[in-house]
Amino acid sequence: MPSLKRRGLNSAAGRWTLLILLLVGLDQLSKLVIVNSYALGEQTSLTGWFNIVRVHNTGAAFSFLADAGGWQRWFFIGLGVVAVITLGILMVRHAGQRGFAAAAALIISGAIGNTIDRATWGYVVDFIDWHAGGWHWPAFNFADSYITIGAIVLVLDELSRVRRG
């Protein structure tokens, strides 16, 4: 096992990798439940501000490029693969830096979850619908949440690192 440690595959990286696997599993399981329980566009109102709804997004955040004609599927799959590889390498190299590694693990989890959707179905399954006063935030999923939270943690970790000097 010493050769694995020399390559940066230490126990911290293993724990982050396990977290990624668990988060991707949760994301994919939640989407499978939605796909098997809801028709496209079908929704259930849970509160006055929260619905579960099945939506297909062929674009990116806020349906960016959703109507681009199909090429965007392959573009976003490629982007997801590049993001996962790049952040995976950085996560392993910096596995002991908790803030950075946690942020990377979250972003990797989200990228893998949505890339699986694009590769499998040609779209991302979204189902979380927050709304207030007739205004709905664009529907999203767990993978999107992981990416958003990971990006916030990454910024906060970097600000903290800069302050420490």
Residues carrying an active site annotation: 126, 144
Across the beta sheet with 135-136, the strand order is 43-45, 50-57, 124-132, 135-136
The CA dihedral of 8, 112, 28, 13, to the nearest 10 degrees, is 10
Q: Which two tokens stand for residue 137?
A: 């935030």
What φ, ψ does residue 130 adopt, rounded to 5°? Answer: -95, 140
DSSP annotation of 10: -
Please report how the helices 11-37 and 71-93 are oriented relative to each other, as an axis angle in degrees rounded to 10: 150
Considering just the CA atoms, what is the radius of gyration of the chain in Å? 18
